[in-house]
Amino acid sequence: MKVGIVGLPRSGKTTVFSALTGQQPDPTLPPGRTTLGTVRVRDARLEALHKLYPPAKLIFAEVVFADVAAAPGRKGLDRASLTAMRDFDAFAQVLRGFPDETGAPPDPSRELADLEAELVLADLDVVERKLPRLQKGEKPGFPAEKELLTRLREHLDANRPLRLAGLSAAEARNLSGYAFLSQKPLLAVLNVPEAAVRDPAPPALVAAAEERQVRVLVLSGEVERQIAELDEESARDFLRDLGLAESASQRFIAAAYGLMDLISFFTVGDDEVRAWTIRRGTEAAAAAGKIHTDLEEGFIRAEVIRCEDLLALGSEAKCREAGKLRLEGKTYVVQDGDVLHIRHSK
Ligand SMILES: Nc1nc2c(ncn2[C@@H]2O[C@H](COP(=O)(O)OP(=O)(O)OP(=O)(O)O)[C@@H](O)[C@H]2O)c(=O)[nH]1
Ligand SMILES: [Mg+2]
């Protein structure tokens, strides 16, 4: 799962990316080239499970963030950046919450609208190049492609992002090859100065975000960068002094999980105790495939224990005795916090 840190030029994308991931993109990269950085998903349940298997390695799930090198001196997005953005599963749009280099005050609700307009235009361009070919009799890639694209064109023509087009799950799946930009889940990230880090988001931004069904996260890239340089205890003290409960990177990840409808399941053993990320609704065989393709192909059954049962009873054997271990088939829908052991024939 890759979250693209996107936004208008000079909004603070790279600052936020570096603060979250500790990675410094090479400033000489050509436009459109991406830099990836991973962030561990802290999970108290996983850390508690790890205590039951002392020699095991503890492996957190990770979220990948991407920063795109921008073409210098542009007002809007360059083509190379738009192309790079097609590859991301979701967007976090950084909104400038500080005066820019010329002293101009921030206008985050306008930035939200401006980027959206660019994404809508880029999608409209794709639809308008495809539709005439379908109308001329080109074989559609999926049933009713022409009708669906016609509907999308009307929607885009009205300056509405495809996220709000009320697409069914099947339609969204059919369209996945197009990688429409305005269809991708979006989170708004207001990057404010340290002094404003506890202030609520400005009402105009809240209204603009609500209208688009977008969540707003307020953070200070500057504060996050400083936290990233501290050890855990000093970071806690620093956050307490600022009146914050936790660093934004974990809030950011929680929001990204929600945005992409992601959940975690766990595997435990003497070698490793590990969290895996899947989309909500994933069935057991596909979840097993995340661990290893052999486990999906040779899937027989999943032994499932709820992590709270395992934590309360202290061992898999005790869970088995207490009837807390279930055997589930291929189509079992894995739940957040399930501990899985896959029985397989490979
Ligand atoms: N005052 C202040 N300046 C910031 C903050 N975050 C970023 N900046 C400045 O804003 C400018 C742009 O920051 P970047 O992080 O490079 O923004 P960007 O969106 O990656 O820019 P491009 O990739 O060129 O589009 C730089 O001069 C930063 O120093 C902030 O929180 N406060
Ligand atoms: Mg940048």
Residue 115 has pLDDT above 90, yes or no: yes
Average pLDDT over residues 310-339: 97
Give the model confidence (pLDDT) of 25-79 as tens digits: 999 999 999 999 998 998 999 999 999 998 899 999 999 999 999 887 778 888 9
Amino acid (one-letter) located at 265 = F
Minimal-distance CA residue to ligand 1 atom 14 = 12
What is the Å distance from ligand 1's center to 319 Cα?
Answer: 52
pLDDT of residue 73: 77
Give the model confidence (pLDDT) of 82-98 as tens digits: 999 999 999 999 999 99
Q: Binning pLDDT at 50, 70 and 90, where does residue 342 land?
A: very high
Which ligand is the nearest neighbour of the Cα of 193?
1
pLDDT of residue 8: 92
Q: Is there a contact between 218 and 190 (Cβ–Cβ < 8 Å)?
A: yes
The full DSSP string for 189-238 is: EEE--GGGTTSPPPHHHHHHHHHTT-EEEEE-HHHHHHHHTS-HHHHHHH
Average pLDDT, the chain: 93
Residue to mutate (ligand 1; options 15, 189, 190; most atoms within 8 A of CB): 15
Cβ of residue 32 lying under 6 Å from some atom of ligand 1: no
CATH superfamily of 1-42+62-262: P-loop containing nucleotide triphosphate hydrolases (3.40.50.300)
Cβ of residue 191 lying under 6 Å from some atom of ligand 1: yes
Residues contacting 219, CB < 8 A, separation 6+: 16, 189, 190, 191, 192, 197, 248, 251, 252
Minimal-distance CA residue to ligand 1 atom 11 = 10
Minimal-distance CA residue to ligand 1 atom 10 = 12
pTM: 0.89
Minimal-distance CA residue to ligand 1 atom 7 = 12
**Which part of the chain has CATH 3.10.20.30?**
281-344
Max CA pair span of the chain: 69
Residue 114 has pLDDT above 90, yes or no: yes
What is the Å distance from ligand 2's center to 82 Cα?
Answer: 14
Minimal-distance CA residue to ligand 1 atom 1 = 98
Percent over 90 (pLDDT), the chain? 77
User: Poorest-confidence range of 34-38, 160-164, 223-227, 337-341?
Assistant: 223-227
pLDDT of residue 183: 96
**Atom number, ligand 1, closest to the C-alpha of residue 16:** 15
Residue 119 has pLDDT above 90, yes or no: yes
**Atom number, ligand 1, closest to the C-alpha of residue 101:** 27
Minimal-distance CA residue to ligand 1 atom 5 = 12
Given CATH 3.10.20.30, say whether it is the number of domain 281-344.
yes
User: Poorest-confidence range of 4-13, 169-178, 220-229, 262-271?
Assistant: 220-229
Q: Which residues pair with 266 in a beta bridge?
A: 275, 339
The three-class DSSP label of residue 330 is: coil
Compute the distance between CA of residue 97 and CA of residue 118 in angstroms, rounded to an integer: 20
What is the Å distance from ligand 2's center to 222 Cα?
Answer: 15
Residue 260 has pLDDT above 80, yes or no: yes
What is the Å distance from ligand 1's center to 157 Cα?
Answer: 32
**Which part of the chain has CATH 3.40.50.300?**
1-42+62-262
Cβ of residue 22 lying under 6 Å from some atom of ligand 1: no
Residues contacting 143, CB < 8 A, separation 6+: none
What is the Å distance from ligand 2's center to 17 Cα?
Answer: 9
